[in-house]
Structure 1
Amino acid sequence: MPLRLDALCLSAQDPARLARFWHELLGGGAVRERADGASEFNPATNPGLPLRFRPGAAPKTTQNRQHFDLTSESPEDQKATVARALSLGARHTDVGQLPEEGHRVLADPEGNEFCVIEPGNKFLAGCGRIGALACDGSHAVGVFWSGALDWPLVWDEGEETAIQSPDGGTKFTWGGPPLMPRTAPDRFTPDLVPEAPAAYEPEAARLTSLGARVLTWEAGHTVFSDPDGNEFRLLGGTA
C-alpha cells in the first residue's frame, strides 16, 4: 500500500468529550490523550478506522459534507443504537430526510450528523458498525482517493463512487453532483502516513500527480487539498 490511513480525524470543540461519546457508542480500545490536545481510539466495530478528535473546531453552523452511516443487524438493533446514542447526548436532526425513509438521522453532542441505517442494506453488509463515511463529492475525488490509498473502487456508477480497503471495513462513498456549497471548513480530515520515512517525498509528489494540491507545511506534516478542495494531512515529514 503506498500510503496508510493513520486516522480519520474529526475537528472538535471538546475533543475529549466527543471522543468519549463515540467510544461509548462504538466501544474499542481506551481513549488516548495526545500531547497535541487530540483524543483518539480504535473502534471495536471497525479496528481498521482509527478515530482522532482534534481541537480547533468553531461552533457548527452548517451541515457537514461528510457523515457516518452506522449499520444495524435488525430493527431491534437499530432502535437500540438510536436509544444508546440519545442517552449519550445525541439528538434527532433534520437534513431533509423523508418520513418513509428507514434510516434515522441524529447529531452527536457537537452537532455532527450521522445516520443509523435500517437492517438489510446489502451495500454495507460486512463493513462493521461504521458502514460508511458518506461524503459529498465528485467522481474525480473518488478516483483520487482510490489511487492515493490503493483502495479499489467497489462502486463506480455514473457520478457515484465508493472505495474500500482490501482488508474490508468501512467504505468511503461519494454521491456526485450537485455538491453542497462549502461554507465552513470540513470537520472530517484524513491523516495519512507513508509506509517508510524515506517514502515521504516520493509519496508527496505522487499525491500531487494524482491531483492533490499542497496548501501549507506544518511541523512534521504537509497539508494538502484533494481535487474537491477537502483538506488532508501527510504525516511524518521533516523540515
Structure 2
Amino acid sequence: MATRLVQINMKARNDAALGGFWAKALGWGISSEGPGVTNLEPEGIVYPDPVAVCVDLVVSTEPKVGKNRVHVDLATTSAAHQAELVARLTELGATPADIGQGDVPFTVLADPEGNEFCVLEPRPIYRDTGPIAAVVVDCADPREMARFWGEATDWTVHEVTDQHASLRSAAGVGPYLEFVRNPDPKTGWNRVHLDVRPYPGDDMAAEVARLETLGATRIDLSGAHIHWTVMADPEGNEFCVLTPS
C-alpha cells in the first residue's frame, strides 16, 4: 500500500478571489466542489494524475501569522520568461516578499493574501515539471522527512542531504516535493498543507494505521463531519489522507 501526493490545500480569506489569482498564475482551470472551496487543476487531466499536484483553496477566517512553512516554486524556461512571469504576476496582484533570502537568482513574491512563493531562475532539473517546479516544506531534519515521506508515499527519493531532500512521483513526472532545513520552529497550524490519497481499492483505515507506524500521528477533530483523516508528519506538519481514488 502507498499514498500519492495529489494536491496542496491552502487556506484563504476569499477562496474564489485567491483561486482566480492562482488559476491565472498557473494557467489552470478553476472549479468549485461547494461553497467556500475553489479547486484548480490543469485543463484536460483526469484527476488524480501525477503530472500535477493540484490546488484546493478553502475559506478560513484564521489570520496568516509569519512565513508559511509550505510554499510552491514556479518554473521558468529562460531569463526572459522569469522576468515576464514576475511582471505578469505583479500585475495580477503579487507583491515582493522579503524572507531573508538575500542576493539570490530567484524572485520571492507573495500572493494577494500574503502567501510566499518563488519564481525560479531556469534550472534544467525543472524543465518538464509544468508550472509548479516544486512544493517546498521547511523542516528541521530533511533526512527524516525524506525517510517518512518516501515510505508514506510511492514517490521516489532523488536527493538527501543534511540541508535538502527531494522526491518525485513514481511515474517521474510532475513537480518535486522538497524539504529544506529551516531553524524556525513550527507555530500553529500550517496555512498550506499536503493532501495524499491511497490508490483505488486500498483500505483507508489500514493505510492510516500504516502511516502511524511510520511516525505520523492522527489529529483528533471530534465533531467534524469529514470523510478524510487529518494527520501530522513526524515534525508536526498537518496533512490529510483522502478517500482512495
Residue 90 and residue 37 in structure 1: after superposition, are their counterparts in 2 closer, same or farther (change >3 A)?
same
Instruction: Supply the AA of the counterpart residue of 1:229.
Output: G
Instruction: Supply the AA of the counterpart residue of 2:70.
Output: Q
Identity of matched residues, %: 33
What residue in structure 2 maps to residue 28 of structure 1?
Answer: 28
What residue in structure 2 maps to residue 12 of structure 1?
Answer: 12
**SS at 2:234 equivalent:** coil
Q: How far, CA to CA, are the matches of 2:128 and 2:80 in structure 1?
A: 18
**SS at 1:136 equivalent:** strand
2:117 is aligned with 1:105: no
Per the TM alignment, residue 118 of structure 1 is displaced from its structure 2 partner at its CA by 1.1
User: Which range moved further: 50-59 or 76-85?
Assistant: 50-59
Map 1:1-239 to 2 at 5 A: 2-29=2-29, 31-35=30-34, 37-43=36-42, 47-99=51-103, 101-119=104-122, 121-137=123-139, 138=141, 139-167=143-171, 168-176=173-181, 178-196=182-200, 199-217=203-221, 218=224, 219-236=226-243
Deviation per residue, 1:55-100 (Å, 9 max, x gap): 115222311112211111111100110011001110011111223x
User: Which range moved further: 189-198 or 78-87?
Assistant: 189-198
Deviation per residue, 1:131-161 (Å, 9 max, x gap): 1112111221222111111101011123421
TM-score, structure 1 length as denominator?
A: 0.90
**SS at 2:145 equivalent:** helix
Deviation per residue, 1:28-50 (Å, 9 max, x gap): 22x11122521011136995211
User: Which range moved further: 149-158 or 192-201?
Assistant: 192-201
Q: How far, CA to CA, are the matches of 2:211 and 2:35 in structure 1?
A: 26
**SS at 2:196 equivalent:** strand
Q: How far, CA to CA, are the matches of 2:63 and 2:137 in structure 1?
A: 21
Q: How far, CA to CA, are the matches of 1:43 and 1:110 in structure 2?
A: 22
Whether contact under 8 Å (1:197, 1:236) holds in the other structure is: no
User: Which range moved further: 61-70 or 207-216?
Assistant: 61-70
- Give unmatched runs, 5+ long, in structure 2: none
Deviation per residue, 1:94-142 (Å, 9 max, x gap): 111223x2111100001011111112x2333322221111211122122
Residue 210 and residue 70 in structure 1: after superposition, are their counterparts in 2 closer, same or farther (change >3 A)?
same
**SS at 1:33 equivalent:** strand
**SS at 2:219 equivalent:** strand
Q: How far, CA to CA, are the matches of 2:193 and 2:26 in structure 1?
A: 20
User: Which range moved further: 222-231 or 182-191?
Assistant: 182-191
Per the TM alignment, residue 197 of structure 1 is displaced from its structure 2 partner at its CA by 5.3
Whether contact under 8 Å (1:216, 1:222) holds in the other structure is: no
Deviation per residue, 1:195-235 (Å, 9 max, x gap): 23551111011110111001125421211000010111112
Whether contact under 8 Å (2:52, 2:130) holds in the other structure is: no
**SS at 1:216 equivalent:** coil
Whether contact under 8 Å (1:23, 1:43) holds in the other structure is: no
Q: How far, CA to CA, are the matches of 1:90 and 1:194 in structure 2?
A: 35
Q: How far, CA to CA, are the matches of 2:159 and 2:207 in structure 1?
A: 25
Whether contact under 8 Å (2:11, 2:191) holds in the other structure is: yes
Instruction: Supply the AA of the counterpart residue of 1:42.
Output: E
Q: How far, CA to CA, are the matches of 1:89 and 1:47 in structure 2?
A: 27
> Across the two proteins, how many residue pairs are aligned to each other?
233
- Give unmatched runs, 5+ long, in structure 1: none
